[in-house]
Structure 1
Amino acid sequence: MRQILAVVAGLVVLAASACSAPTPPRSAAPSPTPTGPATLPAPTGTHPVGTTALYLKDASRPDPWNLDVDARELKVTLWYPTKQRDGQRAPYMTPKESELALRHLGIGGVPNDTLSGTRTNAVKGAEPAGRKLPLVVLSPGFTNPMSTLTSLAEELASRGYVVAGIDHTYESYATTLPGGRVAECLACDSDTDAGFGTGVVAGRAADVSFVLDELPSKWEGSDVIDRSRIAMVGQSIGGAGAMAAMVKDPRVRAGVDMDGTTYARIPKSGFTRPFMFLGSAQHLPGGRDTSWDRDWKLLTGWKRWLVLTGSEHRSFTDAPLMAGALGITPTADVLPAARAAELTRTYVAAFLDQHLRSRRQPLLDKPSSRYPEVRFCPATCGRS
């Protein structure tokens, strides 16, 4: 069974049921004309942000999706604090990736390179700055490239984190590999198979462990990383992958699942490392997706279950920020793009500050009048 997810209000993307429980699409009226290139919100931290890409090859295992490839290739995008404020801003994606994205989403009426014109905040190739910084692994939703979490990555880097975002090859509509090769979504041909979600998260956990193994020797700036302080954050099946990675790899000390159905089994004896669910109404207790209800009982350490009123599955990504550039007017009852980005960045950063930096965050203890959209579950959030 496929689910239909609204990626930008009124835009339809086909993705596997492994991503999350189905979310009905919202209607929207097209704007008369697109507004021009999208601009990601400026990071709020004190550090300028640098970025670079790293390409890794795991010769110990074949690719799970491409049977003609005997080694798993991965693209890892790194964001990090830097002292360099000026310089070329990193591209959001390539023109070819933009073309494939628009085709995948069924969007016409705008230039094929529209999304590649998105304005980012990170300086391409800047030198990393700092020492012993915590590391956050990011994992995107199924069919989505890592670029769809760029706003969150830039925010965390500006706050003093190193961020390693993984493009899980053949699981998104486009991953550009060395030599200009573009890997498209081979996994999309299998998304109705029994056990698909379980297999995807197991593969993502393997990808994460491999990246953690390789970073110290393959990235020149890796000496700024404190390898004793690692967390993982993911959206949709990337969030499910965070749970799977934590179960498999003890190096991942804390995790956040942003609106993703979970698949990895937690030991019946319980799981003590900190974990936070951050989702939309489909993840209210007793809602359409019951995987959080099941796993909540087995999380025996620090845990939070937060639901954002008015959010949709896409609200935890950059997708809503692209609406104007694509000539889309979102409906009034959906959380505005800028507010959704603010809430996501604020609560994810608070979680990481508390569990990787031992800085207690009262924001995570109870509802806040500053952020009334955030409901604490399961005890006080209720059903809407």
Structure 2
Amino acid sequence: MSSIFKVVKKTDSKLMKRSKLIVTIKVSGIIVWFVVSLITLYLFPNFSLPTPTGSFAIGTMSFEVTDTNREEFYTQEVGDHRKLMVQVWYPAEKDLNLELQTYPKQVAEALNSVLNVPDWLFGYFSNINTHTYIDAKVLPLDTKYPLIIFSPGNNSTRFQNTAVIEELVSSGYVVIGVDHPYTSNDVAYTDGTIAYRSDGQLEVTSKDEFYEREINIRTEDLQFVIQYLKSDQLLTYAREIVKQVDFDQVGMLGHSYGGATIVETMAREPYIKVGVSYDGGLWGKAVEDGISQPLLYMSASQTLDYMDDTSIDNEETRSFVTSVVANLKTMQDKSTKNFVFVLFEGYNHYSFTDIPLISPLFQRSNQSVTTTIQYTKTFFDHYLKGSESSDVNTLINESNEATLIEDLKELDSLR
């Protein structure tokens, strides 16, 4: 407006032409900026997490643990031991004076690493509140809370499924999320140091060996964390939370690489009661011997579509997904308990995370987040709390996007 005013006041024709050019450039720049802003607001809108339906307030705290019995295979530093970041979410005493946790920046950092977009694009996360209170007091009950261990996907973070975790905790579960250095995204420790994913290297001779070793390392992470929780090494504050945990009722939850991790942990630790995997792979003992516990496997149709994609660019991905499905078939044949495989039409690999809330790029609607919450909670309630009020089969029968695949050999004819 200032530039236009100046143009109107000019009387010299040369100055008028020059000023008009400046105005044109400025106005064009403003229009471009405005259009880009609108596109950005559409692709990454301000969002809110679903309101948890349970009756418990939610508290959270984090701590790091070091496994002094394991060296860090991803680094060359002598005496470097495996160090993990652990997040605890737990039913808490309601205290409205406490600070709500904002949506974690770690999710933005993981998205940046995948999408190669600038950090400032997700700066608005700091204005979005979760339903979780930082360092709230744990709410003690006469009966203890079931425990769920969560493992995130490759190049992701323990916060990637905050919506699901909040629902579970509000319903009376304690959830432990574990970041796996060098397969999760960059992991920041309490002393300010960072395990950069790009710095981690494994010496392997084949891709099969690579997957086997990575899942083995991640599985040992979870085994160590569970044993650590049972020990007397916890900080006083964390110890008060863990005192409320029922270690006879333990479930596992994982997405992608995390799904592979939790199923392998179940294969090695029979005391684990139940698992839920979101589009996870399978390697190791789980494939060789199967598992003895109930498992809900939620599969995205667009992930399976890679098996039929004959484009050269996706040849490696197609081969990878095909091998994962083959391993699933093998595990199903060798497993002795309820293995529920549900195929969700129109879903992609990230539909089971918070990402559909963050951007429509990854899902046609936010419904996948609600559906993921519903199926996950129903399965855990059935096997960890003995709830008979509803089951996954009822949800499937009422859905127009979910299909129960009783025999995975049927996948060959469906795709």
TM-score by length of 1: 0.81
2: distance between equivalents of 1:184 and 1:205? Answer: 20
Of 310, 316, 327, the match for 2:352: 316
Structure 2 contact 54–167 (Cα < 8 Å) conserved: yes
Could you tell me which amino acid in structure 2 is paired with residue 246 of structure 1? M
1: distance between equivalents of 2:252 and 2:287? Answer: 19
2: distance between equivalents of 1:159 and 1:177? Answer: 30
Q: Which residue of 1 aligns with 2:138?
A: 128
Of 200, 225, 228, the match for 1:211: 225
Secondary structure of the 1:263 match is coil
Of 69, 72, 82, the match for 1:63: 72
1:259 aligned onto 2:279 = yes
Secondary structure of the 1:266 match is helix
Q: Which moved more, 1:287-296 or 1:53-62?
A: 287-296
Q: Which residue of 2 aligns with 1:179?
A: 191
1: distance between equivalents of 2:246 and 2:333? Answer: 31
Could you tell me which amino acid in structure 1 is paired with residue 61 of structure 2? T
Q: Which residue of 2 aligns with 1:92?
A: 103
Shift of the 261–269 alpha-carbon distance from structure 1 to 2, 3 Å rule, reads: closer
2: distance between equivalents of 1:301 and 1:347? Answer: 18
1:119 Cα offset (Å): 2.6
Q: Which residue of 2 aligns with 1:159?
A: 171
Structure with higher Rg: it is: 2
Unaligned ranges ≥5, structure 1:
1-28, 324-328
1:224 aligned onto 2:252 = no
1: distance between equivalents of 2:254 and 2:134? Answer: 23
Shift of the 215–316 alpha-carbon distance from structure 1 to 2, 3 Å rule, reads: same
Q: Which residue of 2 aligns with 1:72?
A: 82
1: distance between equivalents of 2:114 and 2:287? Answer: 38
Higher helix share: 2
Structure scoring higher RCO (CA < 8 A, sep ≥ 6) equals 1
2: distance between equivalents of 1:223 and 1:180? Answer: 29
Secondary structure of the 1:137 match is strand
TM-score by length of 2: 0.76
Sequence identity of aligned pairs in percent?
A: 23
Structure 1 contact 92–119 (Cα < 8 Å) conserved: yes
1:383 aligned onto 2:411 = no
Could you tell me which amino acid in structure 2 is paired with residue 56 of structure 1? V
Q: Which moved more, 1:352-361 or 1:156-165?
A: 352-361
1:208 Cα offset (Å): 0.7
Q: Which moved more, 1:130-139 or 1:249-258?
A: 249-258
1:292 aligned onto 2:318 = no
Of 304, 312, 317, the match for 2:340: 304
Unaligned ranges ≥5, structure 2:
1-35, 309-320
Query: Where does 1:367-382 land on structure 2 (aligned, <5 Å)?
Result: 368=396, 370-379=398-407
After superposing on structure 2, the runs of 4+ consecutive aligned residues of structure 1 that deviate more than 6 Å are none
Structure 1 contact 77–164 (Cα < 8 Å) conserved: yes
Structure 1 contact 101–174 (Cα < 8 Å) conserved: no
Secondary structure of the 2:341 match is strand
Q: Which residue of 2 aligns with 1:44?
A: 53
1:250 aligned onto 2:264 = no
Secondary structure of the 1:365 match is helix
1:302 Cα offset (Å): 1.6
Shift of the 111–278 alpha-carbon distance from structure 1 to 2, 3 Å rule, reads: closer
Could you tell me which amino acid in structure 2 is paired with residue 292 of structure 1? L
1:100 Cα offset (Å): 6.6
2: distance between equivalents of 1:299 and 1:166? Answer: 26
Secondary structure of the 1:148 match is coil
2: distance between equivalents of 1:123 and 1:283? Answer: 38
